C-alpha cells in the first residue's frame, strides 16, 4: 500500500485504495452568509451529524441495525479516501501503512503517569515509549541520564509543557514569542497568566531579533522564557536559534536567567536533515524541544514528543500514590498506542529514510513554487521549508476541495512525503484553469500580497511589472 496509501486500511487487509470512489458532496459551508471566511461563533452545525439511534427494546442487535451501521461506516470510509486524496493544506503526512499494528486495537493501552516509572496499571507500552524518547534524545544531543520527556497527545501539549517547565524554573519570567508563533503559545500564556511580549517578524516569518533585543532591553529586571519556532505554522519560517541565544547574551541575560522552548511541531524532524539549517541541540542553552508525531512522521492519531532536561523536571513533578508513579505530564491518561506507531515508523525509516523524505519534500516544494510563479501566481518558499505560501484562491469551494489553510490574503500548501509531483500537477492545473475564469473579466484582480510575501514575490498588477523587468 505505498502509492496513495490511506489510513483506513488499518483494520482490513482486503481494502483496495485504488478502487474508484464516488465522491460525496462536501457539506454546506458552516457560515451561510458572507464569503465563508467568517466563523460563526455560538452557532454549531448539526446538519451533517450522524444521529445515535437507540437499540431495539428487547436489547437484541437486529440485522437491520447491523446493516445500517455497516453502510454508514462504508460510506464514511469512501469519504476518507477521497478527502485524503485531495489534501494539501495541513502538514500531515498521510502516507503510511500500519497494517501490522491492527492486532493491537483490542487492547486499552494507557501509559498514565511518568514514562520512566511504571505505574500499577500493566496494560502499557512504556518499553516502546522510552525507546522512542531515547531516539529523539540522541537526535537532539542529550545524554540518556540527563533528559526527561514523554509522548504527548499533540504538538500543543508539548508547548504547554515546555512553557510550564520554563515558568516553574523561572517563576517571574516574561514569555517572549514572535507574532507568527502557533496560537497554542499564546494559549499557554493565558492559561498560566504569564506576562507575554509579542516580538515582530521579518517578512519571511522569522523572529526579528532587532525587535527582540529592544524588548528584552526594556524588561531586563525579569528573566526571559522564549518560544523559538522551528518552522512557523503559516510560512514555515525557522527562527535563528543561534541568533536568539546571541541576542540574549548580548543584552546581559546569563544562562540562569533565560529558558528557551523550541516549538518543532512542524519541522522538528525535518531540520536535522537539512544541511544549512541551524541545529537544534541540547549542547546549546535550551530547555526543551517538542515535535508533533502526526505531522512529518505520519501517525494515524495525533501525538507528539516532548524532551526537556532532567534537572528541570524535578521542579515540576509530584509523586502520586494512587498511580504509584510520578505526575510530571499535562494529561493523566496517555495514549499508549501512539508510542508503538512512532516506534514502528522510526524502525522502518530510520535516520536515512527521513533524510530521503525531507530531500524529496524540499524538491517538490520548489517545483510547486516555480510552477506557481511561472503561471503568474504570487508565491514564496522559505529556504529551509517545504511550506509554499501563495495568493489565496478566490473561490472558497476550491479552498475546501483542496483543504488549503488560509490566513488573510494568503494560503499555503505544505509539501509532505505523501504529496507527489502528480498530485501537485493535478492541483496546479486545476488552479490555473480556475484562475483564468475568476480573473477573466478584469474587474476582479488577484490580491496584492506584498505585505505578506514581500513585493519581490508579489505578482499583482502593481508589482508584476517589476518581476518581468528583472
Nearer to ligand PLP, 182 or 371 (CB): 182
How many angstroms separate the CA atoms of 314 and 275, rounded? 35
| Binding piece for ligand PLP, criterion CB under 6 A, among 151-159, 160-168, 186-194, 448-456 | 151-159
Out of 115, 278, 304, 393, the only residue in the binding site for ligand PLP (CB under 6 A) is: 304
Q: Which residues are catalytic?
A: 385
Total binding residues toward ligand PLP, as defined by CB under 6 A: 16
Q: Please, what is the minimum distance in Å from the beta carbon of residue 90 to ligand PLP?
A: 8
Least CB distance to ligand PLP at residue 451 (A): 22
Nearer Cβ to ligand PLP, position 9 or 302? Answer: 302
Distances (CA, A) of 37 to 181, 182, 351, 395: 22, 20, 41, 11
Instruction: Rule CB under 6 A: say whether 223 interacts with ligand PLP.
Output: no
Our CB check for ligand PLP shows the closer of 156 and 204 to be 156
- CA-based Rg of the chain, rounded to a whole angstrom? 24
**CA neighbours within 13 Å on the CB side: how many for 290?**
30
The least distance separating ligand PLP from the CB of residue 412, rounded to whole angstroms, comes to 11
Which residues does 127 contact at the CB level (< 8 Å), separation at least 6?
A: none
Is the Cβ of residue 231 or residue 417 nearer to ligand PLP in the bound state?
A: 231
| Position among 110, 119, 125, 156 found at the interface with ligand PLP (CB under 6 A) | 156
- Note whether 349 and 358 are within 8 A (CB): no
Contacting residue, 124, 126, 182, 412, with ligand PLP by CB under 6 A = 182
- Interface positions, 284-303, toward ligand PLP (CB under 6 A): 292, 302
The vertex-233 CA angle with 231 and 238, nearest 5°, equals 20
The reply to whether 162 sits near ligand PLP by the rule CB under 6 A is no
- Closest contact distance (angstroms) between CB of 450 and ligand PLP is 24
Helix (H) and strand (E) counts for the chain?
Answer: 12, 13
User: 232-261: which residues touch ligand PLP (CB under 6 A)?
Assistant: 232-233
Task: Figure out which of the listed residues 149, 173, 231, 393 binds ligand PLP, where binding follows CB under 6 A.
Answer: 231
The dihedrals phi and psi of 389, each to the nearest 5 degrees, come to: -100, 135
Window of 127-135, 225-233, 246-254, 436-444 that interacts with ligand PLP by CB under 6 A: 225-233
d(CA 463, CA 271): 33
Under the criterion CB under 6 A, does residue 386 sit at the interface with ligand PLP?
A: no
C-alpha cell at 464: 508584476
- The number of residues in the chain equals 470
Nearest residue (beta carbon) to ligand PLP? 155
Residue 383 beta carbon to ligand PLP: minimum distance, rounded to whole angstroms = 17
The Cα 470–Cα 454 span in angstroms is 16
d(CA 398, CA 33): 18
Q: With respect to ligand PLP, which residue has the nearer C-beta, 163 or 265? A: 265
Q: Is 382 in the site for ligand PLP (CB under 6 A)?
A: no
Which one among 111, 125, 184, 308 touches ligand PLP, defined by CB under 6 A? 184
Residue number with CB closer to ligand PLP (84 or 292): 292
Give me the helices (H) in 25-180, please: 63-85, 126-139, 155-169
Stretch that binds ligand PLP, among 6-14, 74-82, 149-157, 429-437 (CB under 6 A): 149-157
Cα separation of 169 and 155, whole Å?
Answer: 21
Torsions phi, psi for 3 (to 5 deg): -75, 130
Site stretch for ligand PLP (CB under 6 A), options 20-28, 227-235, 319-327, 331-339: 227-235
Cβ neighbours for 137, distance < 8 A, ≥ 6 positions apart: 143, 144, 147, 149, 307
Give the whole-angstrom CA distance, residue 10 versus residue 395: 35
Cα 114 from Cα 101, distance rounded (Å):
24
C-alpha atoms less than 13 angstroms from C-alpha of 59 in its C-beta half-sphere: 0
Q: How far is the CB of 154 from ligand PLP (least distance, A)?
A: 3
Could you count the other beta carbons within 10 Å of the beta carbon of residue 114?
21
The residue ranges that bind ligand PLP (CB under 6 A) are: 154-156, 159, 182, 184, 229, 231-233, 263, 265-266, 292, 302, 304
Amino acid at each position: 500500500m505505498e502509492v496513495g496509501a490511506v489510513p483506513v486500511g488499518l483494520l482490513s487487509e482486503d481494502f483496495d485504495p485504488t478502487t474508484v470512489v464516488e465522491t460525496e458532496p462536501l457539506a454546506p459551508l458552516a457560515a451561510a452568509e458572507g464569503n465563508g471566511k467568517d466563523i460563526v461563533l455560538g452557532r454549531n452545525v448539526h446538519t451533517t451529524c450522524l444521529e445515535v439511534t437507540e437499540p431495539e427494546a428487547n436489547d437484541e442487535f437486529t440485522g437491520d441495525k447491523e446493516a445500517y451501521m455497516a453502510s454508514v461506516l462504508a460510506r464514511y470510509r469512501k469519504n476518507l479516501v477521497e478527502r485524503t486524496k485531495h489534501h494539501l493544506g495541513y502538514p500531515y503526512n498521510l502516507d503510511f501503512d500500519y497494517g501490522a499494528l491492527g492486532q493491537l486495537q483490542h487492547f486499552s493501552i494507557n501509559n498514565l503517569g511518568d514514562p520512566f516509572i511504571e505505574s500499577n496499571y500493566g496494560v502499557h507500552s512504556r518499553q516502546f515509549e522510552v525507546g522512542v524518547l531515547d531516539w529523539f534524545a540522541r537526535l537532539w544531543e542529550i545524554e540518556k541520564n540527563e533528559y526527561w520527556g514523554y509522548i504527548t497527545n499533540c504538538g500543543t501539549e508539548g508547548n504547554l509543557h515546555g512553557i510550564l517547565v520554563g515558568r516553574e524554573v523561572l517563576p517571574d519570567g516574561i514569555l517572549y514569542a514572535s507574532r507568527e508563533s502557533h496560537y497554542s503559545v499564546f494559549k499557554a500564556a493565558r492559561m498560566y497568566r504569564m506576562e507575554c511580549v509579542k516580538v515582530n517578524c521579518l517578512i519571511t516569518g522569522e523572529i526579528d531579533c532587532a525587535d527582540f533585543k529592544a524588548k528584552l532591553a526594556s524588561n531586563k529586571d525579569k528573566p526571559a522564557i522564549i518560544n523559538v519556532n522551528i518552522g512557523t505554522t503559516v510560512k514555515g519560517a525557522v527562527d535563528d536559534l543561534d541568533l536568539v541565544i546571541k541576542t540574549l547574551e548580548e543584552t546581559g541575560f546569563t544562562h540562569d536567567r533565560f529558558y528557551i522552548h523550541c516549538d518543532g511541531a512542524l519541522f522538528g524532524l525535518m531540520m536535522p536533515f537539512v544541511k544549512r539549517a541551524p541545529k537544534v541541540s541540547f549542547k546549546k542553552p535550551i530547555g526543551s524541544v517538542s515535535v508533533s508525531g502526526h505531522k512529518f512522521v505520519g501517525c494515524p492519531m495525533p501525538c507528539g514528543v516532548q524532551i526537556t532536561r532532567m534537572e528541570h523536571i524535578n521542579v515540576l513533578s509530584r509523586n502520586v500514590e494512587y498511580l504509584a508513579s510520578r505526575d510530571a505530564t499535562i494529561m493523566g491518561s496517555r495514549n499508549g498506542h501512539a508510542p508503538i506507531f512512532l516506534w514502528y515508523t522510526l524502525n522502518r525509516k530510520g535516520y536515512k529514510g527521513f533524510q530521503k523524505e525531507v530531500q524529496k519534500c524540499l524538491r517538490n516544494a520548489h517545483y510547486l513554487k516555480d510552477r506557481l510563479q511561472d503561471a503568474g501566481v504570487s508565491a514564496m518558499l522559505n529556504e529551509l521549508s517545504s511550506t509554499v505560501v501563495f495568493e489565496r484562491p478566490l473561490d472558497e469551494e476550491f479552498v475546501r476541495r483542496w483543504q488549503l489553510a488560509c490566513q488573510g490574503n494568503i494560503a499555503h500548501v505544505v509539501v509532505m512525503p505523501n504529496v507527489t509531483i502528480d498530485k501537485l500537477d493535478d492541483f496546479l492545473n486545476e488552479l490555473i484553469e480556475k484562475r483564468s475564469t475568476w480573473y477573466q473579466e478584469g474587474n476582479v484582480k488577484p490580491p496584492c500580497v506584498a505585505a505578506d510575501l514581500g513585493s519581490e514575490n508579489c505578482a499583482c498588477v502593481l508589482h508584476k511589472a517589476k518581476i518581468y523587468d528583472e
